[in-house]
Amino acid sequence: MPKEFYDSFENMLFNLDNAAKKLGLEYDDYVSLRYPERELTVSIPVVMDNGHIEVFTGYRVQYSSSRGPCKGGLRYSTDVDINIVKTLAALMTLKSAVVNIPFGGAKGAICCDPSHLSREELKRITRRYTAMILPLIGPEKDIPAPDINTNDEVMGWIMDTYSMFKGYSVPGVVTGKPLEIGGTLGRQGATGRGVVYIINDIAPWLGFSLVNAKVSIQGFGKVGSILAQLLAHQGSKIIAICDISGGVYRESGLDIDDLINYVNNNPSKTIKGYKAPGVTEFPKEEIFYFTVDLFIPAAKENQINASIAKKLNTKIIAEAANGPTLVEADEILSSRSIIVIPDILLSAGGLVVSYFEWVQNIQSLMWDESEVNELLMRIMKRAFNEVWVIHQQRGVSLRTAAYMLAIDRVIKAKKIRGVFP
């Protein structure tokens, strides 16, 4: 294979082609899955607080609608381009299929640094972006959700803007919005809960116990903080955590509840400056090199390359982030007998509960939180069991098994619908 894969979309295509080959598919059977249905790049002129106009770039990619409306988050970051957005939209397509919910895949982004923008500037950027992508989105077409640097408030702005154009309230145009305007109980922390459900399911098969297991986590945001808390409450020792500001380590295990409380009250919303007995700081780049039983990348894509894969000292990698591992690293990890639980299975919890929110909006109902959590666990467990069976029967990696399951479902839907015209 080629020496290196730093192109995130090519990385995804390699995994796609490999799984399609294992399924015995001809190129014509799945070629349409190698291309997004629609890509949109928009210019977003905004009047800043100082009165000057600044123009931002935004993206929305709809990858596949074969199994239902497109679904995917919206992130605000300076580290985005159309290629990354396209990759993430493809992964959302596969993720929806793995957990077998009736969505396709999409993703959006605005190239900006929210930390340098006021709340009012962010609101104006969001509303103008919504107006620019208005023809593409809607409850039956494409449903945005929170992602990196966006939250329920941002989703509320999108919903309101869309509704103003329509002339009536349309809560189903987004998910992950505040409860008061149609959000769902159980949405906060759903991705992290889904991760822990899967880790608990796979642990007995791998002869692995979470009690006293040493864990390191890259990322301490909406996903990393929740799963760290859940694992700690189950008896795991979270010995190292990092975020964009740096990392903290304690051999006996960090006090996760205390760390979350610190971050919530820190103006920067980071772990920088956290102090506690026995805790030492380290550069965030060193998160990969602790000796642990379980390493969880819960930050951004393209984090584990060949060089890092050679040095990782863990038994299991649980991909809570989207696309954190490069193809070149996958091969090295496999040769070192390090188990990788793939992103399109492991991090689907937020997507599943977004689906629940969408269903509730359409039906004008509101479910109990216990109902949401119980159904989330059932769907995640079912998806894991289906992937595990393929993994065992076909003798392939968990990633390839998950891709095989997803591709088979998307291709079957495409064949039933046919090619237009």
CATH code of the domain covering residue 310: 3.40.50.720
**Nearest-CA neighbor of 348 among 305, 396, 386, 293?**
386
Residue type, 180: E
Cross-strand partners of 56: 44
What residues contact residue 51 under an 8 Å CB cut-off, 6+ apart?
Answer: none
Q: How confident is the model at residue 336 (pLDDT cuts 50, 70, 90)?
A: very high
Q: In this structure, is residue 51 part of a structural domain?
A: yes
pLDDT tens digits, residue range 76-95? Answer: 999 999 999 999 999 999 99
Cross-strand partners of 249: 240, 280
| 208 and 333 part of one domain | yes
Residue 421 has pLDDT above 90, yes or no: no
| 49 and 157 part of one domain | yes
- Domain containing residue 43: CATH number: 3.40.50.10860
Q: In this structure, is residue 103 part of a structural domain?
A: yes
- Domain with 333, as residue range(s), is 190-346
Q: How confident is the model at residue 4 (pLDDT cuts 50, 70, 90)?
A: very low
| 194 and 342 part of one domain | yes
- Could you say which of 86, 107, 177, 214 is catalytic? 107
Global pTM value: 0.95
Q: What percent of the chain has pLDDT over 90?
A: 96
Q: In this structure, is residue 136 part of a structural domain?
A: yes
Instruction: Provide the mean pLDDT of the chain.
Output: 96
Measured CA to CA, the distance from residue 326 to residue 96 in angstroms comes to: 21
Residue 55 has pLDDT above 80, yes or no: yes
| 197 and 256 part of one domain | yes
Of 118, 138, 171, the domain-final residue:
171
Q: In this structure, is residue 371 part of a structural domain?
A: no
pLDDT tens digits, residue range 408-420? Answer: 999 999 999 998 9
Q: In this structure, is residue 339 part of a structural domain?
A: yes
Q: What is the mean pLDDT of residues 363-388?
A: 97
Q: In this structure, is residue 55 part of a structural domain?
A: yes
CA torsion sign, 134 to 96 to 373 to 341? negative
Q: How confident is the model at residue 347 (pLDDT cuts 50, 70, 90)?
A: very high
Measured CA to CA, the distance from residue 213 to residue 217 in angstroms comes to: 13
Q: In this structure, is residue 203 part of a structural domain?
A: yes
Distances from the Cα of 100 to the Cα of 144, 344, 345, 386, 413, angstroms:
19, 12, 11, 11, 12
Q: What percent of the chain has pLDDT over 70?
A: 99
Q: In this structure, is residue 13 part of a structural domain?
A: no
Q: How confident is the model at residue 7 (pLDDT cuts 50, 70, 90)?
A: confident
Distances from the Cα of 136 to the Cα of 47, 93, 99, angstroms:
24, 17, 25
Q: How confident is the model at residue 6 (pLDDT cuts 50, 70, 90)?
A: low
Note the pLDDT of residue 3.
39
Q: How confident is the model at residue 97 (pLDDT cuts 50, 70, 90)?
A: very high
Note the pLDDT of residue 115.
92
| 225 and 253 part of one domain | yes
| 141 and 267 part of one domain | no
Measured CA to CA, the distance from residue 142 to residue 172 in angstroms comes to: 10
| 85 and 208 part of one domain | no
| 152 and 273 part of one domain | no
Q: Is 107 tagged catalytic?
A: yes
Give the chain's domain count: 2
Peptide bond into 421 cis (omega under 30): yes
pLDDT tens digits, residue range 137-190? Answer: 999 999 999 999 999 999 999 999 999 999 999 999 999 999 999 999 999 899
| 163 and 213 part of one domain | no
Q: What is the mean pLDDT of residues 100-122?
A: 97
Of 346, 366, 388, the domain-final residue:
346
| 276 and 332 part of one domain | yes
Q: What is the pairing mode between strands 237-243 and 246-249?
A: antiparallel
Count CA within 13 A, CB hemisphere, residue 187: 24
Of 314, 346, 378, the domain-final residue:
346
| 97 and 232 part of one domain | no
| 312 and 214 part of one domain | yes
Residue 378 has pLDDT above 60, yes or no: yes
